[in-house]
Amino acid sequence: MDYSEEIAPAVQSILDAARERGGGGDRVSVTPRSLADAFEAAENAGRTPVIAEIKPTSPTADGERTDDPVDLARQMVAGGAAALSVLTEPDHFGGSAATLERVRDAVDVPVLRKDFVLHESQLDVVEADVVLLIVRFLEADGTDDLADLLTAARERGFQVLVETHTAAEVEKALGAGADIIGVNNRDLAELEVDLGTFEAVAPEVPDGVTLIAESGIQTPDDVTRMRDAGADALLIGSAIMDHDAATDVEANTRRLTDADTDAVETTTTDT
């Protein structure tokens, strides 16, 4: 399938760069930190499970954060993040495998490798607790099959977040054996964000599958909205990184990890 007319130019450029990138060297073998345990621990501590994303920049960001990613990671954990996501894509997001390695060494929460993996060899770049596979990208010509990649990732010890955007993609993810599914509110065709996407697609994901709302979550009200729609956890980048203003990352994280708890407390008080 040729996506050149179906996705935004910036996304096509990401895909083209991913096709060019080689794999790593030695086969990775990881003993992962459990994402499910991290989410449960956050819930038990009265926090909303949030995967906070270290994303120095992006095609839709207004600026770039040049702070040390390890400092940012520590602030996110101090702000209550249950897990971290680290962009390793270098050309459009300012990420690197070395950054992920440093961050994972510095924290004890699970770390997601956020990249655009198209081939099995691209799994052998760096140890992480979770890797991302994007259904839409794995439908393009010349990429590996989703189910094969899922198996290959698990054989290396990775937990796998399979990203979807539509009900049809959720069906494909489930057919491939996904047990952690993300619904991305960002449309990779237009790069527009609509939280209604998660609300529309979430009912397609059965109980027993961990469900993560991705992208566009900016405010405590957004957190509550996604939780009310069934999100077990949230993946949040821009609102925490605050690229143009470079505000306090710990406070930005806490505002969102505390959000749904506040909503529950309010409800309890009112009844």
Tell which residue, 118, 122, 148, 121, has the closest CA to residue 133: 118
End-to-end CA distance of the chain: 54
Q: Please give the sequence-ordered ranges of beta strands (E in DSSP) within the chain, or none if there are none.
A: 50-54, 83-87, 111-114, 130-134, 159-164, 180-184, 210-214, 233-236
94 belongs to the binding site for ligand LARABZUK (CB under 6 A): no
Q: Measured between alpha carbons, how far is 80 from 97 in angstroms, rounded to an integer? A: 24
Minimum CB distance to ligand LARABZUK, residue 154 (Å) = 21
If the CB atoms of residues 184 and 197 are measured against ligand LARABZUK, the closer one turns out to be 184
Minimum CB distance to ligand LARABZUK, residue 21 (Å) = 15
Minimum CB distance to ligand LARABZUK, residue 186 (Å) = 6
Q: Measured between alpha carbons, how far is 159 from 147 in angstroms, rounded to an integer? A: 14
214 belongs to the binding site for ligand LARABZUK (CB under 6 A): yes
95 belongs to the binding site for ligand LARABZUK (CB under 6 A): no
Active site includes 185?
A: no
Active site includes 214?
A: yes
Q: Which of 73, 236, 249, 256 binds ligand LARABZUK (CB under 6 A)?
A: 236
Which of 58, 215, 238, 252 is flagged as catalytic? 215
Stretch near ligand LARABZUK under the rule CB under 6 A, chosen from 53-61, 149-157, 199-207, 262-270: 53-61
Q: Which of 73, 118, 128, 235 binds ligand LARABZUK (CB under 6 A)?
A: 235
If the CB atoms of residues 1 and 151 are measured against ligand LARABZUK, the closer one turns out to be 1
169 belongs to the binding site for ligand LARABZUK (CB under 6 A): no
Residue 42 tokens, joined? 């956050």
- Would you say 156 and 29 are in contact if contact means Cβ atoms under 8 Å apart? yes
Stretch near ligand LARABZUK under the rule CB under 6 A, chosen from 103-111, 123-131, 171-179, 185-193: 185-193
Question: Three-state SS for 235?
Answer: strand
Render the burial of 126-141: b for 16+ CB within 10 Å, e for the rest. Answer: bbbbbbbbbbbbbebe
Active site includes 55?
A: yes
Active site includes 53?
A: yes
99 belongs to the binding site for ligand LARABZUK (CB under 6 A): no
Q: Measured between alpha carbons, how far is 185 from 179 in angstroms, rounded to an integer? A: 19
Orientation of helix 167-176 relative to helix 146-155, angle to 10°: 50
Cβ atoms within 10 Å, residue 142: 7
Which active-site residues does the annotation give?
Answer: 53, 55, 114, 163, 184, 214-215
Binding residues vs ligand LARABZUK (CB under 6 A): 10-11, 14, 53, 55, 58-60, 184, 186, 188, 191, 214-217, 235-239
